[in-house]
Amino acid sequence: MQLDEQQRAARTWFEHLRDLICAEFEAIEREAGSDASFDYIPWDRADPSGAPGGGGVRGVMKGRVFEKVGVNVSTVGGTFEGDFARTIHGAGEDPRFFATGISLVAHMANPHVPAVHMNTRFLRTTKQWFGGGADLNPPLPVAQDTADFHAELARACDAHDPAYYPRFKAWADDYFYIPHRGVHRGVGGIFYDHLDTDFAADFAFTQDVGRAFLAAYPRIVRRRMADPFTADDLAEQRRWRGRYAEFNLVYDRGTLFGLKTGGNIDAILMSLPPLATWE
């Protein structure tokens, strides 16, 4: 795929952020006495037209602290198929698209360490925009962890627009909700989409969201990863993971986007926990 300057800049940042996050997560494993590291599996995508459609790299680590963590980057393009184009911003009249981004989900061995999700992306159809966010998903919530996570995201938002944090926090609260259970998936964070005020400003904000995640989450992991836990704590973690899986399979738009655009199945479904319980 031929990329222009904006597309290359976005792709390069997402790949750089991947490298920073994976290095930090591997450092945590070393602190816990583990030699676990990421395995990187590249994949290619064929566009429905038959032309090359880009691809990505799936990064997965299974360790002592991170029971299962996936950090994926992808850069894809081509045409949306059929009616799906009409569901995408700016693609109703012209199904051609470009998308690049990073997606991360971590499921933790210790139930006192929150699971987490983060993704940021740049898309172009007849319009172009940034979207994404991060949200914390503790089976056993701790107020300090929730406050620290939100504080870092608020700082990132406030540096760009004081209206961003309350707006994007409310959006996350609405989006990461499981209607059939009547509960939220976790303790929230921020979620934004169709941010198209100005490429440079929106790109700078998206970069700061990634940096805020990197400042907040490893600190929480280190704080909780040695906490003792009980069989009841582990059972609660697995019940909560069942709800997490339900949300991602039923409601998550990123899962649907990946499946509808011919993405790598293992990368799309890396968000599913290794062990979960339904009772």
Half-sphere exposure of 225 (CA within 13 A, CB side): 22
| Axis-axis angle for helices 199-224, 143-158 (nearest 10) | 160
Return the structure tokens found at 239: 């019940």
Return the structure tokens found at 277: 């319980």
- Active-site annotation holds for 180: no
The answer to whether 56 and 72 are in contact (CB under 8 A) is yes
The residues, ordered by sequence, that sit 6+ positions from 142 with a Cβ below 8 Å of its Cβ are: 112, 224
Instruction: Give the N- to C-terminal CA distance of the chain in Å, as an integer.
Output: 47
- Of 107, 112, 117, 184, the catalytic one is 117
Q: What are phi and psi of 243, to 5 degrees?
A: -65, -40
How many whole angstroms separate alpha carbon 225 and alpha carbon 195? Answer: 35
Catalytic machinery residues: 117
